[in-house]
Amino acid sequence: MNAAVEHRHADVTASPSPALRARVIERLAAILPTGSLLYRVEDTRPFECDGLSAFRQLPMAVALPENESQVCEILRTCRELDVPVVARGAGTSLSGGSMPHGSGIVLSLAKFNRILEVDAMARIARVQPGVRNLAVSEAVAPHGLYYAPDPSSQIACSIGGNVAENSGGVHCLKYGLTCHNVLRVRLVTIDGEILEFGSEAPEVPGLDLLSLIIGSEGMLGVVTEVSLRLLPKPELARAVLAYFDAVEPAGDAVAAIIAAGIIPAGMEMMDQKAVRAVEPFVQAGYDLDAQAVLIVESDGTPEEVDEEIARIEAVLRDCGCTAIRVSESEEERLRFWSGRKNAFPAAGRVSPDYYCMDGTIPRRTLGRMLKAIEAMEEKYGLRCMNVFHAGDGNLHPLILFDANEPGQWDRADRFGAEILETCVEYGGTITGEHGVGIEKINSMCVQFSPAEREAFFALKRAFDPQELLNPGKAIPTLARCAEYGRMHVHAGQVRFPELPRF
């Protein structure tokens, strides 16, 4: 890899020269309507970070195009001027994936917020990337349909961001991630060329490049339109709330349910710290003495639900659960889920700051991982609430800390890195649905070999030869991994120490 490419990826804090900045602003102002280009510090400040607020960087400018033609012109201009571009949706990313580049622009898709078409017969919705996740289900509800992927941030997160990160949610066990529910993506390359991947037809000829685009974190192009698969709303859904007096049997129960051939609509787990944080917040009626809580949902016809819940209860009892409650109404089912859905804001009520991690492990190792995290709490002197998409082994540990206390953020950062390394050690991965961004870029050095990382770069260069789209994210350079190896003493290096934090 040549030195110029190494530098581009390593230097996310570079500042543009005054002459280049003036030229970029002049060129973009000629493309965009009045008020759609922000370049004063006070106007760009809201875009300096995403949901991972630990790392911050001001962009040169923020462009808010109103149509696809403007997106094409912006990208062609940035390529001509060699200016990095970071596409941004709602900014709810938790990995720093939409943090700006210091010498680049933010391309905000906030104005791309229309549902273009709903075909109820074909069960397809065609939407712009700025449409909120939950807004899709709200719009198609009169047709008895809904959009299955439901991240905890679904009230705010955008479909374009879901595509970038391959988001999931509490019902992804049965209904899949974003990649299983997107049929077609329309995308603009850095050359300003419009490409389409996938199809609304049952089969697509040629290579399956749609799977390459979903989860690519804005590194290959800018999404301008998405066709979503809609599902019929189930006749009935009921939730089982199961309590355990230890975390290991709760983890074993997750694996046992799947081993029994049961695929619930959702299966989530919370440890006692999480339960005690969320109960005062949502008053879901959780048992505060339980060491772990499982929420297992069944949906379908009433007959299917009754049969599946009976099988789930039998497995839970065999695994040693101490008590079981089954929702008797839709209101009660939603109350059971309210705690899990509100775990993140509940963490904000019990701690000045929290750091949400995202990794995956084999289901059989859930109990073992919780024990490992308990040991890390002692090691780093910080508490950790644990909530899991238990059905597919996706962890969301919430490390609690106070950024006003010297050294606590650095300890939280190392704590998180060790969790990710432990995921790899147990046969899992460093991310489930939050993406890599800048948060996990050092951990990529642990997960992937130099040859694998070079293959990732080769794919990126096929779409973006100048490497202008979201540079410095997701894929670490060989030089960065070499540096990480020299400094690394088991989760011992802080990511991007040069960036402003908190």
* Same domain, yes or no: 265 and 210: no
Q: Are the beta carbons of 306 and 298 closer than 8 angstroms?
A: no
pLDDT bin (cut points 50, 70, 90) of residue 95 is very high
Query: Of the residues 277, 309, 344, which one is the last residue of a structural domain?
Result: 344
Q: What's the CA gap between 81 and 20, in Å, rounded?
A: 8
Mean pLDDT over 384-402 rounds to 93
**Tokens in use for 167?**
């988001």
Q: Note down the domain range covering 266.
A: 236-344
Q: Is the pLDDT of residue 258 over 60?
A: yes
Tell me what pLDDT residue 122 has: 97
Q: Are the beta carbons of 173 and 147 closer than 8 angstroms?
A: no
Q: What CATH number is attached to the domain comprising 309?
A: 3.30.70.2190
Q: Is residue 450 part of a domain?
A: yes
Q: Is the pLDDT of residue 356 over 80?
A: yes
**CB neighbours of residue 138 within 10 Å:** 12
Tell me what pLDDT residue 456 has: 94
Q: Is residue 204 part of a domain?
A: yes
* Same domain, yes or no: 128 and 98: no
Q: Is the pLDDT of residue 426 over 60?
A: yes
Tell me what pLDDT residue 485 has: 64
Q: Is the pLDDT of residue 286 over 90?
A: yes
Q: Is the pLDDT of residue 163 over 70?
A: yes
Q: Is residue 241 part of a domain?
A: yes
Q: Is residue 475 part of a domain?
A: yes
Query: Of the residues 309, 344, 379, which one is the last residue of a structural domain?
Result: 344
Q: Is the pLDDT of residue 5 over 80?
A: no
* Same domain, yes or no: 153 and 221: yes
- Residues 118-143 have pLDDT tens digits of 999 999 999 999 999 999 999 999 99
Nearest to 295 by CA among 332, 246, 259: 332
* Same domain, yes or no: 106 and 119: no
Q: Is residue 2 part of a domain?
A: yes
* Same domain, yes or no: 120 and 224: yes
Q: Is residue 309 part of a domain?
A: yes
* Same domain, yes or no: 179 and 254: no
Q: Is residue 418 part of a domain?
A: no
* Same domain, yes or no: 125 and 107: no
Total of domains in the chain:
3
Mean pLDDT of the chain: 92
Q: Is residue 277 part of a domain?
A: yes
Tell me what pLDDT residue 7 has: 32
Query: Of the residues 185, 206, 232, which one is the last residue of a structural domain?
Result: 232
Q: Is the pLDDT of residue 323 over 70?
A: yes
Tell me what pLDDT residue 489 has: 42
Q: What CATH number is attached to the domain comprising 181?
A: 3.30.465.10
326 phi/psi in degrees, rounded to 5: -120, 130
Tell me what pLDDT residue 477 has: 79
Pairing of strands 105-108, 61-63: parallel
Q: What's the CA gap between 495 and 437, in Å, rounded?
A: 11
